[in-house]
Amino acid sequence: MLAPNFSMTLLAIPLAAYFLGSIPFGLILTRVFGGGDVRGVGSGNIGATNVVRAAGLSAGLFTLLLDAAKGAGAVLLAETLSNDSATWMIAAIAALVGHCFPVWLKFRGGKGVATAVGAFLVLSPLACLAAVILFLLVVVFWRYVSLGSISAAAAMPLLIYFLWAPRHAPSLAVTMGTFAAALLIIYKHRGNLRRLMEGVEPKFSFSKNKGAQ
C-alpha cells in the first residue's frame, strides 16, 4: 500500500499542473491590451496566434511566453517532488489538458502548442528545439501556423525517442505520454486540418482580426 504522503504527492502533482495549465493568459492579456474578448475574434482560440490578431504582437508574445511557462512550471514542480520521469510526463499532460480544457472557460481552451513547448523544453531541450525549428521552417515556407504546429506535434514522438538522452531511449511512459500530447494537439487542430485540405485555411498575418488559427 502506498504511504499517505506519497499518495498525496501523486494526486497533487497532476491537479496542480492542471490548474496551472488552465490559467487563460490569452483571454486575460487580450483584455489588458484593449482587444476585448479574444473568443470573439478569428477562430475564437485563446492561444497566442489569435491574440496577435485581437490585440497585437506584444499581447501575443506575452501570451506565448506565459502559456509556455505553464507547461515548464508544471514539469519543474513534478521534478522537484519526484525523481520519476513518468510523473514528470503526467504533469506535462495535465498542464496541456488544463490549457486545452480549462474548467474556468467551460472546457473550451486553446490548442496547447505553447504549453507543450514549455513542458518539453524542460523534459527534453534538444527534442523541443528540433520541433521548434521544424515549426519555424513550415511557417516560413508555407505561412500556415496551424500546419507548423501539426507538423511539430506529429514529429515530437520520434524526436523524443532519438533525442531524449545520449544513447538512451525514453521510458515507455514518456513515449506514450508524448504520443498522447501529439494526438491531443492534432485533435485540437482538426478544424485547421479540414480547412487545409479544402484549401481555405488563412495564412498567418500580423494584422488584427484576420484569419483563423
Within 10 Å of residue 1's Cβ, how many Cβ atoms?
5
The answer to whether position 212 is within a domain reads: no
In whole angstroms, what is the distance from residue 207 CA to residue 5 CA?
51
User: Is 208 domain-assigned?
Assistant: no
154 inside domain: yes
Could you tell me if residue 183 is inside a domain?
yes
- Yes or no: say if 149 and 64 are a contact pair by the CB < 8 Å rule: no
Q: Is residue 205 part of a domain?
A: no
At 62 the pLDDT is: 97
* Band of residue 1 on the pLDDT scale cut at 50, 70, 90: very low
Residue 107: what pLDDT?
A: 96
For residue 182 the three cell numbers come to: 501529439
Helices (H), 42-171: 48-55, 57-81, 85-100, 113-123, 125-142, 145-163
Would residue 213 count as lying in a domain?
no
In a domain, 24, yes or no: yes
Instruction: Tell me the pLDDT tens digit for each residue of 66-115.
Output: 999 999 999 999 999 999 999 999 999 999 999 999 999 999 999 999 99
- pLDDT at residue 123 in the model: 97
pLDDT tens by residue, 181-200: 999 999 999 999 999 999 99
Count: domains in the chain:
1
| Band (168; pLDDT cuts 50, 70, 90) | confident
Is 59 within a domain?
A: yes
